[in-house]
């Protein structure tokens, strides 16, 4: 029964708590950034080279934050053969607010109704692009706490990133990520290794509650991002040094101790600059760096620079981007698949980068690696933490299943429909004109959505939203609507070939490390 747990769950601190399964959703439409450059009348390469972006996914008026999260949750549950009564906590991180009171989490609970499971803790968390990470931390903390009842936690991060016409518009995107959290995970949080920095700034914010568009101070936003990265890395490095000293080691931590590095990615070029920024930190923190040979060759002239004075120093940036080029290629470049092809997803952005690393490597290449994760949200809040990948990469292992579940990312990206910039612009105008309208019936095509996608069918006169789902098989009728009117909504799962179910017990072989 929901809420029940075997006595064995109430024993010692759960081991290797982290991400067991991960699912990613992005829209079925995209606009080509090179074509958008021509349409916007800007210099060739401004978006593709200057920002490092190739394509940008976007939603029609058929999709909102609720539908995105419904889609990614049901997809994760179906693909992993999970029962809804195996979930004890559901956290949502988003900054795409369509209601000032009702949470996205409560909408997702409609998927749980057939199971009878209403004993599900958690709620929405909002702070720009950091909300998904805060939700993930909450889920991990719950599993490691006295409140845990032996069931899994489910974390959802989703957003629709749209900007008014202008220089910021090509940094948009959309998508959602769902992560299953529990013990014996293939991606385990390293306990105590988390550096956080919180500070007040108006770099990016959304004061107009009737608009989807933010107010952005681009230069300040970059400064806040890089300063937060400096602070978080310093705290993380001090904490891991303390751990190593307790273990009797005087080893000095550097970027080489990360197998992979993933970052929140507003645009890909900022991620490349972030790797260079961390190398600058390593260089300045080293008591006696070798500037004759090795990665710091030729950097002696920068020995006395002050980090807080270098955020827009082109000489420093150029020198350390060159010095860190190999590091970027080996540890970060593969993380930018989703960011480059779909754009900025806000809260799911850094987890889309994590999914890209997993999709682009084999289980044996990932096994035993430490993955550094930097999450940033404007306003501002940031954390740098690390995940340790299990050593077990045998066929059928938890890591093998995780890699297999994300191996189709490239195929899914290539299956999207490209639309002309003018069509994209019209779609943005439609969203702008109909945002928060009551008595509204969406006009976008349902046929172009991916199979299994939830979509908005109408908004009634009281702003209550109704949804249907495209069938997984085109020969099947659409699923009955989920009607958010207070009464129980009927939900009939689509026929789907189930993977072996991950049971609620945390000692299952597929969840072991």
Residues at the annotated binding site for CoA?
A: 221, 269, 273
Name the DSSP class of 121: B
Nearest to 203 by CA among 215, 221, 186, 185: 221
Q: Are 382 and 195 spatial neighbours (Cβ–Cβ below 8 Å)?
A: no
Query: Between vectors from CA 311 to CA 305 and to CA 312, what angle results, nearest 5°?
Result: 105
Rounded to an integer, what distance in angstroms lies between the CA atom of residue 456 and that of residue 67? 7
Catalytic site residue from 23, 95, 212, 479: 95
Nearest to 52 by CA among 243, 315, 338, 395: 338
Starting at the edge strand found earlier in the chain, the sheet holding 29-32 runs 55-58, 29-32, 417-419
Rounded to an integer, what distance in angstroms lies between the CA atom of residue 180 and that of residue 73? 10
Q: What would the two tokens of residue 353 be?
A: 């980068």
For 360-376, the three-class secondary structure string (H helix, E strand, C coil) is CCCHHHHCCCEEEEEEE
Burial class of 314 by CB neighbour count within 10 A (0 to 12, 13 to 18, 19+): exposed
Q: 268 catalytic, yes or no?
A: no
Q: How far is CA 122 from CA 1, 25, 115, 142, 408, in A?
A: 19, 22, 18, 10, 30
Q: At what angle do helices 314-323 and 268-285 cross, to 10 degrees?
A: 90
Q: 212 catalytic, yes or no?
A: no
Rounded to an integer, what distance in angstroms lies between the CA atom of residue 61 and that of residue 287? 56
Catalytic site residue from 29, 59, 63, 129: 129
**Helix, strand, or coil (residue 18):** strand
Catalytic site residue from 264, 353, 484, 510: 264
Indicate the annotated binding residues. 221, 269, 273
Q: Are 461 and 439 spatial neighbours (Cβ–Cβ below 8 Å)?
A: yes
Q: 144 catalytic, yes or no?
A: no
Taking CB atoms within 8 Å and a gap of at least 24, the contacts of 437-446 are 438/462, 438/463, 442/60, 442/61, 442/62, 443/60, 443/61, 444/60, 444/61, 444/62, 444/63, 445/60, 445/62, 446/62, 446/470
Rounded to an integer, what distance in angstroms lies between the CA atom of residue 186 and that of residue 371? 12
Count of alpha carbons within 13 angstroms of residue 302, beta-carbon side: 28
Q: Are strands 55-58 and 465-469 parallel, antiparallel or unpaired?
A: unpaired
- Residues taking part in catalysis: 95, 129, 264
């Amino acid at each position: 029964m929901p809420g029940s747990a075997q006595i064995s769950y109430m024993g010692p601190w759960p081991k290797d708590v982290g991400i067991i399964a991960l699912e990613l959703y992005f829209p079925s439409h995209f606009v080509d950034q090179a074509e958008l450059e021509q349409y916007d009348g800007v210099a060739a390469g401004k978006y593709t080279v200057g920002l490092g972006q190739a394509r940008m996914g976007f939603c029609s008026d058929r999709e909102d934050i609720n539908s995105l999260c419904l889609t990614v949750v049901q997809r994760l549950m179906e693909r992993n053969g999970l029962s809804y009564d195996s979930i004890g906590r559901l956290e949502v991180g988003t900054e795409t607010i369509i209601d000032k009171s009702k949470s996205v989490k409560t909408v997702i609970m409609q998927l749980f109704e057939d199971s009878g499971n209403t004993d599900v803790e958690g709620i929405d968390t909002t702070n720009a692009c950091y909300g998904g990470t805060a939700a993930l931390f909450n889920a991990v903390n719950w599993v490691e706490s006295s409140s845990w009842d032996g069931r899994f936690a489910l974390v959802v991060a989703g957003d629709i990133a749209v900007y008014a016409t202008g220089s910021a518009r090509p940094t948009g995107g959309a998508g959602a990520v769902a992560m299953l959290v529990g013990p014996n995970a293939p991606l385990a949080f390293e306990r105590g290794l988390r550096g956080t920095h919180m500070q007040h700034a108006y770099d990016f914010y959304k004061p107009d509650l009737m608009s989807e568009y933010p107010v952005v101070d681009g230069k300040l936003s970059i400064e806040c991002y890089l300063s937060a990265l400096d602070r978080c890395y310093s705290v993380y490095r001090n904490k891991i040094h303390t751990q190593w000293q307790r273990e009797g080691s005087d080893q000095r931590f550097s970027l080489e101790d990360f197998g992979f590095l993933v970052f929140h990615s507003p645009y890909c070029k900022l991620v490349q600059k972030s790797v260079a920024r961390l190398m600058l930190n390593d260089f300045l923190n080293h008591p006696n760096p070798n500037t004759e040979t090795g990665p710091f060759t030729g950097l002696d002239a920068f020995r006395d620079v002050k980090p807080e004075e270098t955020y827009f120093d082109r000489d420093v940036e150029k020198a350390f981007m060159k010095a860190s080029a190999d590091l970027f290629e080996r540890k970060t470049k593969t993380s930018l698949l989703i960011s480059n092809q779909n754009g900025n997803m806000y809260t799911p952005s850094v987890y889309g980068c994590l999914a890209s690393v997993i999709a682009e490597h084999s289980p044996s290449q990932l096994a035993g690696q430490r993955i550094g994760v930097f999450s940033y949200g404007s306003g501002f809040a940031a954390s740098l933490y690390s995940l340790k990948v299990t050593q077990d990469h045998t066929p059928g292992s938890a890591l093998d299943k995780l890699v297999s579940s994300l191996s189709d990312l490239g195929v899914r990206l290539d299956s999207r429909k490209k639309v002309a910039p003018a069509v994209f612009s019209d779609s943005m105008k439609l969203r702008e004109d109909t945002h928060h309208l009551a008595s509204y019936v969406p006009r976008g095509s349902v046929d172009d959505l991916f199979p299994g996608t939830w979509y908005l069918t109408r908004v009634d006169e009281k702003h209550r939203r109704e949804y249907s789902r495209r069938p997984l098989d085109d020969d099947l009728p659409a699923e009955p609507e989920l009607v958010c009117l207070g009464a129980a909504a009927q939900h009939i799962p689509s026929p789907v070939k189930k993977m072996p179910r991950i049971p609620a017990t945390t000692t299952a072989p597929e969840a072991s490390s």
